Amino acid sequence: MTLTEKILAKHCDKSVVRPGDNVWTKVDCMMTHDVCGPGTIGIFKREFGEDAKVWDEEKIVLIPDHYIFTEDVRANRNVDILRDFAQEQGIKHFYDITDRSDFKANPDYKGVCHIALAQEGFCRPGEVLFGTDSHTCNAGAFGQFATGIGNTDAGFIFGTGKLLVKVPPTMRFVLDGEMPDYLLAKDLILQIIGEVSVAGATYRAMDFVGDAISAMNMEERMTVCNMAIEAGGKNGTCAPDEKTFEWVRARTDAEFEPLYGDDTASLFADYKFDVSKLEPVVAAPHSPDNRKLARECREQKIDRVYIGSCTGGKTEDFMSAAKLLHGAGRQVKVPTFLVPATQKVWADVYTLPVPGTGGKTCAQIFQDAGCETPAAPSCAACLGGPQDTYARMNEAQVCVSTTNRNFPGRMGNKEASIYLASPYTAAASALAGHVEDPREYLA
What 3 state SS string does the chain have? CCHHHHHHHHHCCCCCCCCCCEEEEECCEEEEECCCHHHHHHHHHHHHCCCCCCCCCCCEEEECCCCCCCCCHHHHHHHHHHHHHHHHHCCCEECCCCCCCCHHHCCCCCECHHHHHHHCCCCCCCCEEEECCHHHHHHHHHCCEEEECCHHHHHHHHHHCEEEEECCCEEEEEEECCCCCCCCHHHHHHHHHHHHCCCCCCCCEEEEECHHHHHCCHHHHHHHHHHHHHHCCCEEEECCCHHHHHHHHCCCCCCCCCCCCCCCCCCCEEEEEEHHHCCCEEECCCCCCCEEEHHHHCCCECCEEEEEHHHHCCHHHHHHHHHHHHHHCCCCCCCEEEECCEHHHHHHHHHCECCCCCCCEHHHHHHHHCCCCCCCCCCHHHHCCCCCCCCCECCCCEEEECCCCCCCCCCECCCCEEEECCHHHHHHHHHHCECCCHHHCCC
pTM score over 0.75: yes
**Whether the Cβ atoms of residue 405 and residue 286 lie closer than 8 Å to each other:** no
Distances (CA, A) of 199 to 25, 162, 195, 234, 310: 25, 28, 11, 11, 21
Q: How confident is the chain (443 residues) per 10-residue block, as mean pLDDT? A: 98 98 98 98 98 98 98 97 98 97 96 98 98 98 98 98 98 98 98 98 98 98 98 98 98 98 97 98 98 98 98 98 98 98 98 97 98 98 97 98 98 98 98 98 88
**Whether the Cβ atoms of residue 120 and residue 29 lie closer than 8 Å to each other:** no
Amino acid at 316: E
Query: Do you find a cis peptide bond into 135, omega within 30 degrees of 0?
Result: no
Residues contacting 120, CB < 8 A, separation 6+: 61, 93, 110, 251, 252
